[in-house]
Amino acid sequence: MEILFYHPTFDVRDWAPLLQRHLPDARLRAWQPGDDEPAEYALVWHPPYEMLRGRTDLNAIFVLGAGVDSLLSRLDAHPDLLPAGVPLYRMEDTGMAAQMQEYAVSQVLHWFRRFDDYARLQQEACWQPLEEYRHADFTIGVLGAGVLGGQVAQRLSAWGFPVRCWSRSRKAYPGIASFAGAGELPEFLQGTRVLINLLPNTPDTVGIINASLLASLADDAFVMNLARGAHLVEADLLLAIERGNVKGAMLDVFHKEPLPSESPLWRHPRVRITPHVAAVTRPDEAAAFIAQSITRIARGDMPQNQVDVTRGY
C-alpha cells in the first residue's frame, strides 16, 4: 500500500513506523517535486498544489489536523487542487479533544477564581481579598458544537457552570442548552459571560466575533479563541476591552501566524497569548486513527469524518 506524505514540519521517518504498526503493508513516502508515482492514499498538511493535482488514483486524502480550511481556502485559486471524486477526511479527535478540554477548563477556572485580578493586585503589592464569582452568574457559551466544541462544553458543564452552545444545526448534549442558526445567535449571546470559539473556518464564520457580537455579551465578559484567527476581528476585541465590555481574552490563534511583534495584542495587559498550541496533532494517535479509517475504506465502510467541501467541514 503506497501512501504519500507531506507536512512542512513533521518528519516522514517518525510517522512511517507508527502507521506500519497498524498497517504492516503500508509504505509511507515523502512527496517530492516531480513525484508522480501511483499512490492509494495521501496524508497532508498545507500540501503544494502540484502534489494533489490530477491524482485520481487516490482512494482518499487525510488532512493531518482538525481544520481543513487551509486546504479548502485555496480552491478558488486552484479549483483542481483536489482531484475529482477523491474523498477528503479530517482528524476527528486523535487526542485533540482532551487537549482542548484541558486548555479551556484551566483558563475558565483562572478567570472564575479571579487569578487575573489577583495578579494585578500582586503587581501593586496590594493584599485585598475579592468578592467571589458565582457559578450561576458565569454562563459559558461555546461557539461551534462539533466533536471538539461538544466535548469542551460537556467538560465545563461537569464543573457546575451553566453551559450553552451554538452551531449550524441543533445538538443534544445532556444539560447543555443548544442554539442553532443565525436567528438564535442573539439569544445565545445574551447573558453569556465566557465565550469560547471552536467554530469551523468557513465563509459564513469569518469575522463573526466582531464589535456587534462582543457588545451582545454579558458585562465584564471573557473571550477565548481556540479555532482560527479569521473568526476574530482583533481591533474590535481591543476596543471592547478598552470600553470595559470585555474584561479579558485568551487567544491561541491569529490572523497572521506567527503573531507579528508589532501587534498590540502582545502588550495588552488583559490579553493572554499562546502560539497555536491549544490542541496539536499527536502522531501516535493520528496514525491509529488514519489506519482505522483506511481499513474501513478498504472494506467499503466509509468513515464519518469525511469533509463536505461545499460546507467547509
Residue 68: phi and psi, rounded to 5, are -120, 5
Tell me what pLDDT residue 22 has: 96
Q: Which of 293, 312, 297, 304 is nearest to 82 (CA)?
A: 312
Choice among 157-166, 252-261, 301-310 with the minimum mean pLDDT: 301-310
CB 198 within 8 A of CB 171: no
Tell me what pLDDT residue 92 has: 77
> DSSP 3-state assignment of 43?
strand
Instruction: For the chain, give the percent of residues with pLDDT over 70.
Output: 100
Residues 127-131 have a mean pLDDT of 98
Q: For residue 232, list its beta bridge partners.
A: 209
The number of C-alpha atoms within 13 Å of 58 and in the hemisphere containing its C-beta is 25
Average predicted confidence (pLDDT) for the chain: 96
- How many secondary structure helices (H) and strands (E) does the chain include? 10, 12
C-alpha cell at 206: 469569518
Q: What angle do CA 266, 150, 278 make, to 5 degrees?
A: 30
Could you tell me the pTM of the whole model? 0.93
Q: What angle do CA 152, 154, 160 make, to 5 degrees?
A: 110
Tell me what pLDDT residue 313 has: 87
Tell me what pLDDT residue 61 has: 97
Residues 38-52 have a mean pLDDT of 96
DSSP string, 136-152: GG--EEEE--SHHHHHH
Buried b / exposed e over 257-275, threshold 16 CB at 10 Å, is eebeeebebeebeebbeee
Q: Which residues are catalytic?
A: 228, 276
Residues 295-300 have a mean pLDDT of 94
> DSSP 3-state assignment of 31?
coil
